[in-house]
Amino acid sequence: MIETLKIKLLDGMHAHNEWECALEIPIDHSLDELHQAILSAIGFDNDHMYEFCIANSYYSRSSERISCDDDKVTQETVDTIFLKAKGKKLFYMFDYGDSWLFQISKSRKKRFSEKPDTFYPRVALESGIKPEQYPDWDE
């Protein structure tokens, strides 16, 4: 089954514009695969550490965090993480230096079966302007 997730950029060192997308992803994909899909959607290189966070706010003391070097990142799936996040929010932090912070939520669209000849995960809809991961500082 395919889940449609809303990925919204909340903050980042070079985030001057709003950006969000609807990402269609199999529910059995791991958090590591979700991480890779988000980077692909926004066009970032996979060259920094990251974590997922379940909490009312990203900076909440009472949060569950799953970092990139935790075994859970390959064991937790899109399906299981949202069961854990019920009543809370799911955040994704990429690159602790530039602090690219995203909120991940389920869209209102119902799950659906994979469509033939369609490669998942895929961006179904996108709005806003993608930020540059490494802007040219010479300008």
Q: Which residue has the higher pLDDT, 63 or 136?
A: 63
Examine residue 135 and state whether it is found in any structural domain, yes or no.
no
User: What pLDDT band is residue 137 in, cutting at 50, 70 and 90?
Assistant: low
Examine residue 24 and state whether it is found in any structural domain, yes or no.
yes
Examine residue 139 and state whether it is found in any structural domain, yes or no.
no
| Domains identified in the chain, total number | 1
Least confident of 6-15, 27-36, 56-65: 6-15
Mean local confidence (pLDDT), 15-19: 82
What is the value of pTM for the model shown? 0.93
CATH, residue 92: 3.10.290.30
Mean local confidence (pLDDT), 34-62: 95
User: What pLDDT band is residue 13 in, cutting at 50, 70 and 90?
Assistant: confident
Examine residue 133 and state whether it is found in any structural domain, yes or no.
no
Inform me whether the pLDDT recorded for 117 exceeds 60.
Answer: yes
Mean local confidence (pLDDT), 112-139: 88
Task: Show the tokens assigned to 26.
Answer: 């199999």
Characterise 133 by phi-psi region: left (phi > 0), alpha (psi -120 to 50), beta (else).
Answer: alpha
Examine residue 134 and state whether it is found in any structural domain, yes or no.
no
Domain of 48, in residue numbers: 2-128
Give how far Cα 61 sits from Cα of 15, 33, 53, 58, 72, Å: 25, 26, 11, 9, 20
Examine residue 136 and state whether it is found in any structural domain, yes or no.
no
Examine residue 124 and state whether it is found in any structural domain, yes or no.
yes
Which amino acid would we find at residue 53? C
